[in-house]
Chains A and B, each alone.
Chain A
C-alpha cells in the first residue's frame, strides 16, 4: 500500500502497531490517513471511518495499545493530527505465508484512490478532529 501511494507521489510512512512510533508520525500533522487491514468477511472490501468508529472494546493490555487508545493517549499528550481518517481493507486469510491474497492485492489501487480522495477533500479546508 505504501508503495502504491509512493508511486502516486503521496507521502506514506510504514508504522509498527506501537504507540510511540504512531504518535511520532502524527505529531504536528494537519491530516493523517491511517490505512490498515481489518478482519472482515469480504477480502478486498475498502471501508472509510473515523477513529471513534473502530470497535476496540479490549482494555489496555501489555500487548500495547490499540489505535483508538493510541489516539486517546496522543490527545492526552497533545500529539495527534488535526484530522484523522481511517481506511481499512478487509482481509480473511491471516495464516502463515508471504504477500497478499489476490483479492486484497487487487484492492490496493482502489484504496489508494480513496486516500487521494480524502486528501483532496481536505485541501484548503479547516480540519476537524475526526472527520
Chain B
C-alpha cells in the first residue's frame, strides 16, 4: 500500500441516525482527504417555521428527531419563554428536568446497547449481541423501557411527547402516578450501575483528542438549561451563543459545520462529564471512579462509559425529583407573545442544542435558528478520523473502514438533526 493511493468508501453508515457516508483518501499511507458526507436532504425547518405562531415551535421542531424530541421541545420553549419574558415556577422546571431524564435514559440505553456495544464485542449488530449476551441486552431493554415510561408519565407518550407547552405542561401528573414509577426506576438504577460495570470492561482504542469542550453548566449537572461553559475560555451567556458558534456550509455535506470562535469543538457526554463531573450525584461519581474514569475524559472511544455514568445520574436524579415531588399548583405559567428575540439551550443526549427565535408584533415567528449537536461535532469527528487513519493505516481496508465507522459512532451522531449518516469510501493511492 505504501507509495500508492488508497480509497475507503462506506456508502451508507450503519448504527447511526440518518443518511451519511464516509470518504477517506490516503496517499502513501497518509490521510489526504477525510470527509463525513451527509447527504440526507436538508429539511428547511428554520425556513418553514417563519410565519408560524409563537406557540408552535416546541411541537414542530420536536419532529426533527424521534430519539430526542424532548431536547427540541425544551430548547424551543426556553428560547420563546426568553423572548416573551416568562419565568417558570421551580416545580415546573423540575418536572421538565424529570421528563428530560427519561429521554437521556432511553436514548443513552439505546445507543449503548444497540448501536455502540457491538463495536466492542466484535459483533456486526445487536442481533448477534442478543444471541451471545442475552442477559445484557435484556438489561438494556429494561433500562430503555424505564426511560420510556418516565416520558409517558410526564410527556403523555414515549415518542414525540404531546404534553409539553410554553410555560410548562398541559397537565401535570399526580404524585401517586410518579411514586408508582419509582419502583421501576429503582430497578433501573441497579441496571444502570450494572451497565457501567459491563462497558468498563470493554477494550478501548487509545485516542486523546484536544478539541475544545463545550457544554452547559448550572447549579446542577446541566440538562434542561444552563449557561455555556468551555474548556479554554470563560463561560458565556446563552444570548451570546451565535457570536461564538458559527455555522458554515461545506461542499461535501448537506449539514452545516459549526465552529467555536473559528476553532474545532466537541459537545456531548465527554464535554459534559469533563466540565461538570463534580455535579454528578455521589452514586454516579462512585460509578465513574469504579469504571476507571478520571475527572476528565478525552478518549471518544470511552464515551460509552460516560454515557453509562450519565444513565446512572439520570435515573438517580429522576428518583430524587420524584421523591420531592409536589404536584405544581398550576400546570403552566402564561407566556404572552411580545416582539423580541429569545435564545434557548438544553443538553440533548448527544450534546448542546441551541434555538433562537425572533417573534414579531403579531406573535408570529419572524426568524428561527437551530444549531444541533451533530453539526457542532462534525469537525471534531473528521479530525478524529484523520487521527485514526494515521494511526491505523496498516490495517487492511475492511478493518480500517470498520475502525472509521466506530470512530463516528463514538459521537452517537444524529444526521436527521444535523440536516436539518453513513456510506464510507477509503481511497488509497
Complexed CA–CA distance, A61 and B20 (Å): 12
Cβ contact of B130, chosen from A16, A59, A77, cutoff 8 A: A77
Q: Is the CB of B142 within 8 A of A73?
A: no
A18 interface residue (CB < 8 Å to B): yes
Please tell me if A34 contacts chain B, counting CB pairs below 8 Å. Answer: no
A61 with B18: CB separation less than 8 A: yes
A107 to B126, CA, bound (A): 37
A63 at the interface (CB under 8 A from B): yes
Q: Which of B1-9, B109-117, B228-236, B318-326 contacts A (4 or more CB under 8 A)?
A: B109-117
In the complex, A64 Cα to B145 Cα: how many Å? 12
Q: By the criterion CB–CB under 8 Å, are B115 and A20 in contact?
A: no
Complex contacts, A73 vs chain B, CB 8 Å: 126-127, 130, 137
Q: Let me know if B414 and A62 touch, CB within 8 A.
A: yes
Is A10's beta carbon under 8 Å from chain B? no
Q: Is the CB of B138 within 8 A of A77?
A: yes
CB closest chain-A residue, reference B128: A76
Bits for B51-66, please: 1 = Cβ < 8 Å to A, else 0: 0000000000000011
Interface assignment of B144: CB less than 8 Å from any CB of chain A: yes
On chain A, the residues within 8 Å of B141 by CB distance are: 19-20, 23
Complex alpha-carbon distance, A62 and B145, angstroms = 15
Measured in the bound complex, the distance between the Cα atoms of B137 and A60 in whole Å is 15
Does B166 lie at the interface of the complex (its beta carbon under 8 Å from any beta carbon of A)? Answer: no
A60, B67: Cβ atoms under 8 Å?
A: no
Please state if B14 and A60 are interface contacts (CB–CB under 8 Å): yes
Q: Which chain A positions have C-beta within 8 A of B412? A: 62
| Contact residues of B between 117 and 143, Cβ < 8 Å to A | 125-128, 130-131, 134, 137-138, 141-142
Q: Which of B16, B134, B137, B159 contacts A61 (CB 8 A)?
A: B16
Chain A contacts for B145, CB-based, 8 A:
20-21, 24
Expressed in whole angstroms, the Cα–Cα distance for A24 and B65 within the complex equals 25
Inter-subunit contact A59/B138 (CB<8 Å): no
B159–A18 touching, CB < 8 Å: yes
Number of B interface residues, CB 8 Å?
Answer: 34
Check A21/B110 contact, CB under 8 A, given A59-B12, A60-B125, A64-B67.
no
Are A60 and B15 within 8 A (Cβ)? yes
Structural contact, A63 and B148, CB atoms closer than 8 A:
no
A76 to B130, Cβ gap below 8 A? yes
Counting CB contacts under 8 A, is B276 at the interface?
no
Q: How far is the CB of A51 from chain B (nearest CB, A)?
A: 14
* Residue from B107, B115, B131, B134 within 8 A of A60 (CB atoms): B115
Q: Which of B14, B15, B111, B159 contacts A17 (CB 8 A)?
A: B159
Q: Which of A59-76 contact B (CB under 8 A)?
A: 59-65, 69, 72-73, 76
Asked if B17 is at the interface (CB within 8 A of a chain A CB), the reply is: yes
Contact A18 B148, beta carbon cutoff 8 Å: yes
- Give the Cβ gap from A16 to chain B, nearest Cβ, in Å: 5
Q: Which residue of A lies closest to B116 (CB)?
A: A62
Give the chain B neighbours of A21 by CB distance below 8 A.
Answer: 145, 148, 158
Residue of A nearest to B158 (CB): A16
Chain A proximity mask over B377-413: 1 for CB below 8 Å, otherwise 0: 0000000000000000000000000000000000010
Complex: A24 Cα to B149 Cα, angstroms = 13
B416 on interface, CB distance cutoff 8 Å: yes
**Smallest beta-carbon distance B157→chain A, Å:** 7
Residues on the B chain within 8 Å of A23, using CB: 141
Which one, B18, B134, B144, contacts A77 given CB within 8 A?
A: B134
A19–B114 Cα distance when bound, in Å, is 11
Indicate if the CB atoms of B126 and A60 lie closer than 8 Å. yes
The answer to whether A63 touches B66, judged by C-beta atoms less than 8 angstroms apart, is yes
A115 to chain B, nearest CB (A): 24
- Within 8 Å by CB of B148, from A20, A61, A62, A65, lies A20
Complex CA distance for A78 and B138, rounded to whole angstroms: 11
Q: How far is the CB of B15 from chain A (nearest CB, A)?
A: 6
CA distance A78 to B127 in the complex (A): 12
Supply 14 further A-B pairs (C-beta < 8 A) apart from A16-B159, A76-B134, A76-B137.
A16-B157, A20-B141, A20-B142, A21-B145, A59-B15, A60-B115, A61-B17, A63-B17, A63-B67, A63-B416, A64-B66, A76-B127, A76-B128, A76-B131
Chain B contact residues, CB within 8 Å of chain A = 12, 14-18, 65-67, 107, 110-111, 114-115, 125-128, 130-131, 134, 137-138, 141-142, 144-145, 148, 157-159, 412, 414, 416
Supply 10 A–B pairs (Cβ within 8 Å), ascending by A: A17-B159, A60-B125, A61-B14, A62-B107, A62-B412, A62-B414, A63-B67, A64-B110, A76-B131, A77-B134
6 tightest A-B CB contacts, nearest first: A76-B130, A62-B17, A59-B14, A20-B145, A20-B141, A76-B131
